[in-house]
Structure 1
Amino acid sequence: METTSHHGFGAFNGTGDGHMRHRRMMMHMSFYWGHKAEVLFSGWPGTSSVMYPLALAFVFVLAVLVEWLSHCNIIKPGTNNLAVGLMQTAMYTVRSGLDYMVMLAVMSFNGGVFLAVVGGRAVGFLVFGSRAFRKTSGSASGSDHAPSDLPPMKC
């Protein structure tokens, strides 16, 4: 009978001699290029040439969503303060969770994932945070932009 330790470091061979077999798992500690990566979930995206671009698209969309949540204005003025507080808390929680997922994806140390995240944050900021797509009334100060529902993220 072979049992794997809960840490995944090895398994007893069941012969009673105390020898352990070790599974070898490659974990990169510097950036590398290639489609053979594990991003966010064990075994994902795998070695399929189709799944790696899907993983890149997934982290790109996560990064865009983080930027959208950082700059969105969906709470109507005059809403009950308790309801606003609950909405802001829910939005903050979702934004934090997505941001941590983006951070964990980058920690795969895959160059493509890193570029997808940076590109997603850039596109998200361009669309939701910059003046490029903002409707302005012609004021020079730019004060016609309502503040977002959430405070800015800080390091």
Structure 2
Amino acid sequence: MKSHMTLFWGDAIEILFPGWPGSNFNSYMLALTLVFVLSLAVEWLSHTKFIKPTMDNITAGILQTAMYAFRVGMAYLVMLAVMSYNLGILLAAVAGYTIGFFIFGSRAFDDSKISKISPCEDPADLPPLIC
């Protein structure tokens, strides 16, 4: 299969693994969905709270480090998928990050009236990627 070095639109691509998703349109749609879900999961993990205040520091540190490694791994998979230069994959990744931020990171679903905490001081387990 020929490798592209410019953005293109088409369903005959290879993403992440040789032969995947192939030239089938349904497989291409599955790949778009996977990239969307991966980018959405990166935003979810960036704004979630798993560590309980009652945890000891060692356990909390190990859990926080594991979550960080998992988030970075998922973000790199999305980045590698986007490096296929397929416009559909790029749009799926941007849409996943955007919708994920809207749901988990913005004030749209915040119970408090005005949040005076900067994103880097948010009580989530992991700081957002901008910090």
TM-score (normalised: structure 2) = 0.91
State percent identity of aligned pairs.
Answer: 52
**Secondary structure of 2:109's aligned partner:** coil
> Of the two, which has the highest radius of gyration?
1
Q: How does 1:5-154 map to 2 (within 5 A)?
A: 25-136=1-112, 138=113, 140-143=114-117, 146-154=122-130
Q: Is the 8 A contact 1:39 1:105 kept in 2?
A: yes
CA distance in structure 1 between the partners assigned to 2:88 and 2:77 by the alignment: 16
CA distance in structure 1 between the partners assigned to 2:79 and 2:25 by the alignment: 24
Q: Is the 8 A contact 1:66 1:95 kept in 2?
A: yes
Q: Which segments of 5 or more consecutive residues in structure 2 lack a partner in the other structure?
A: none
Quick one: which amino acid aligns to residue 58 of structure 2?
A: L
Write 1 or 2 for the structure with the bigger share of helix. 2
Equivalenced residues, count = 128
CA distance in structure 2 between the partners assigned to 1:142 and 1:132 by the alignment: 15
CA distance in structure 2 between the partners assigned to 1:123 and 1:96 by the alignment: 19
CA distance in structure 2 between the partners assigned to 1:141 and 1:63 by the alignment: 25
Shift of 1:141: 4.4
Quick one: which amino acid aligns to residue 127 of structure 2?
A: P
CA distance in structure 1 between the partners assigned to 2:61 and 2:115 by the alignment: 29
Structure number with greater CO (CA < 8 Å, separation at least 6) is 2
CA distance in structure 1 between the partners assigned to 2:9 and 2:33 by the alignment: 16
What does residue 18 of structure 1 align with? none
CA distance in structure 2 between the partners assigned to 1:103 and 1:78 by the alignment: 36
**Secondary structure of 1:50's aligned partner:** helix
CA distance in structure 2 between the partners assigned to 1:93 and 1:150 by the alignment: 11
Structure 1's consecutive aligned runs of 4 or more residues displaced over 4 angstroms after TM superposition are: none
